[in-house]
Amino acid sequence: MGEQFPELKSRRQFILTTITQEEKRFLRTLDLGLARLNEVLSDLKERGERNVPGEAAFRLYDTFGLPLEITRDVARERGLLVDEQGYAAALEEQRRRARQTDTFTAQDAETMKRYQALLASLQEQGALPAAGVAHDPYSTTELETTVIAILKDGQSVSTARPGDEVEIVLPATCFYVESGGQVSDQGFIAAYPPGSDVEGEADEEVEPLWDVTITEARRPVPGLIVHVGKVVAGRPRVGDRVWAVVDYDRRISTARNHTATHLLHSELRYILGEHVQQAGSLVTPERLRFDFTHPTMLTEEELDAITLSVNDAILVNYPVITAEEPYRQAIDEGVIALFGEKYGDVVRVVRVGWPEQPFSQELCGGTHVEETGEIGLFHIVSEEGVGAGVRRIEAVTGRVAVELVEQQINALKRAAAYIGAAPEEIDRRTLNLLGELRAARKEIQRLQEKLARQEFEALLSKVEEVEGVPLLSAQVSAPAEEVLREMTDWFRDRLGSGVVVLGAVLGERPRLVAAVTPDWVQRGVDAVKLVRPLSKVIGGGGGGQPTLAQAGGRDASRLGEALEQAAEVLRKMLGE
């Protein structure tokens, strides 16, 4: 298949690595599924039931990928059966929900019919040619044209009022329609008095007759583009001459980010390897998101190298050239196409760099800057994994990048001032402070344990006997639960035989720890049975082992009351 799909040969090592990682990941998930199955089977055995519910078997398959056959075989070894009819019913219910999600509803189909009918009507009237709305988002950001249709609540109307949510159809538009990961343009459509010398926003003193703020341009059916917005002034009418104006600042910010994704893609392939392929993207005025194939997390050194290389390409101020070419010619020239995408016979190629040696060349229908210097600054915000063998980089450019870097520099300066160091020395100073903090914490812990030991020695005089069992029940000022448990060890080490119940308030929450020496466990004393009734007094619960149990609660004010009941609970246990 290598001749038909050359990517199989060129990306052989990446494919092998991804398959191996997937196999390991599946085996780990399978182990988790088997562990969960054992829990389910043990629970059924304890309840005296013999059938694994179909819903439980399906959850094991849906969550852990555990096939029904494995569940059935393991259950049979334990003398249990699986409700296969229930499993089939749960599987079919999930498929039904998936079909509802993946298919159009009747309402969606009806909406599409309305748009198709509108397009056909406009073509019959001669308002639109057979090709539909003329779409050119590259040549200009403002266009004088005519309103040929207005939709309100999905219905064609001849006019609209202020406050109405509308969709406006023009015979031609310069608004970019969301596609290829790039979001739609925003802007406005406005009509001006006859004879006004208006060209977009050239004369802000001229009041429009009506104005519609456009939040999105959509292509609901091929050949038809609607401008979605809200009437903010006047009454739009079909047939009015208007200016359609794209928000230029938003457009250029989006273009910066889109061109930056091409530079990023090129540098990822150069630094990480030719196995890197685009796996998704999002381009907005505020940021860019780029998903790409790569098996491992990027190191700090790799991220720094990528950032530096992209900014070098920006500073060189490469030209960004677009051209339409035959698809096969573009591919033969080394232009990158997205694997799995369908392209026409003629494609739009975006080249960054000198014509004889392009820095980047990709098939793309988005908007771009004319020179890379317009991007200004490129800054990576985050890098993370989003799936098996797929990583994601989020970055900012232009003004947003400058503002973010300024914020980070100011935060660095403030932090340097707080710790009394120069900004370039803040990392070393921070490491020194962390070392000092760790040493101080160890010393505090040592002193706390020393105080706890002193407190424990004083408590030994309060040991009482309950039916012949030495019992110490007291509230202490232990700094942590670990110290609380350690104090029970001191008790067992000192007395050798007996029961201890200690309580402390940790972080405004009451905690209890009960310990029983092995000799009294053999005589029926259980730390769990001792601590559970006490935990109810403080509004909580607990558990553990017969020799050591612990509990927590919500009402610290009743901790003393709970400890006072320890002797009575022990007495009842001994009398059973």
Q: Average pLDDT in the 150-177 region?
A: 94
pLDDT of residue 187: 96
Place of tokens 């005589």: 523
User: Which residues is 541 bridged to in the sheet?
Assistant: 552
pLDDT of residue 1: 54
Q: Average pLDDT in the 194-223 region?
A: 80
CATH 2.40.30.130 domain range(s) in the chain: 126-246
Instruction: Transcribe 131-189 into DSSP letters.
Output: T-SEE-SSS-SEEEEE--EEEETTEEESB--TT-EEEEE-SEE-PPPPBTTBPPP-EEE
* Nearest one of 142, 148, 284 to 214, comparing CA atoms: 142
CATH 3.10.310.40 domain range(s) in the chain: 449-575
Q: In this predicted model, what pLDDT tens digit does every residue of 458-473 receive, in sequence order?
A: 878 888 888 888 998 8
pLDDT of residue 24: 67
The average confidence (pLDDT) of the chain is 87
pLDDT of residue 25: 65
The more confident residue out of 179 and 21 is 179
pLDDT of residue 256: 96
* Nearest one of 443, 448, 521, 519 to 486, comparing CA atoms: 448
Residue 346 has pLDDT above 60, yes or no: yes
| Range picked from 52-56, 430-434, 443-447 for highest mean pLDDT | 430-434
CATH 3.30.980.10 domain range(s) in the chain: 256-406
Q: Average pLDDT in the 183-197 region?
A: 89
- CATH assignment, 126-246: 2.40.30.130
Q: Which of these ranges, 178-192, 302-316, 498-512, has the smallest mean pLDDT?
A: 498-512
pLDDT of residue 200: 46
Confidence of residue 340 (pLDDT cuts 50, 70, 90): low
Q: Average pLDDT in the 325-343 region?
A: 83
pLDDT of residue 185: 96
Cα(306)–Cα(298) distance, integer angstroms: 10
- The conformation of residue 299, written as its DSSP 8-state character, comes to P
Q: Average pLDDT in the 291-308 region?
A: 94
Architecture of domain 449-575: Roll (3.10)
- Burial level of 283, CB count in 10 A (0-12/13-18/19+)? buried
Q: In this predicted model, what pLDDT tens digit does every residue of 267-281 receive, in sequence order?
A: 999 999 988 989 999
Residue 339 has pLDDT above 70, yes or no: no
The more confident residue out of 27 and 58 is 58
pLDDT of residue 480: 80
Q: In this predicted model, what pLDDT tens digit does every residue of 414-427 receive, in sequence order?
A: 999 998 888 888 88
User: Which residues is 394 bridged to in the sheet?
Assistant: 289, 382
Cα(230)–Cα(548) distance, integer angstroms: 68
The more confident residue out of 196 and 180 is 180
Please, what is the angle between helix 398-419 and helix 248-272, to 10°? 70
Q: In this predicted model, what pLDDT tens digit does every residue of 358-395 receive, in sequence order?
A: 999 999 999 999 999 999 999 999 999 987 789 999 99
* Nearest one of 383, 384, 346, 378 to 365, comparing CA atoms: 346
Percent of the chain with pLDDT over 90: 48
Q: Which fold has domain 256-406?
A: Threonyl-tRNA Synthetase; Chain A, domain 2 (3.30.980)
Confidence of residue 158 (pLDDT cuts 50, 70, 90): very high
Confidence of residue 202 (pLDDT cuts 50, 70, 90): very low
The pair of three-digit structure tokens given for residue 173, joined into one six-digit string:
């538009």
Strand 499-506 and strand 469-475: the pairing is: parallel
**Beta-carbon contacts of residue 152 (< 8 Å; ≥ 6 apart):** 160, 164, 165, 166, 167
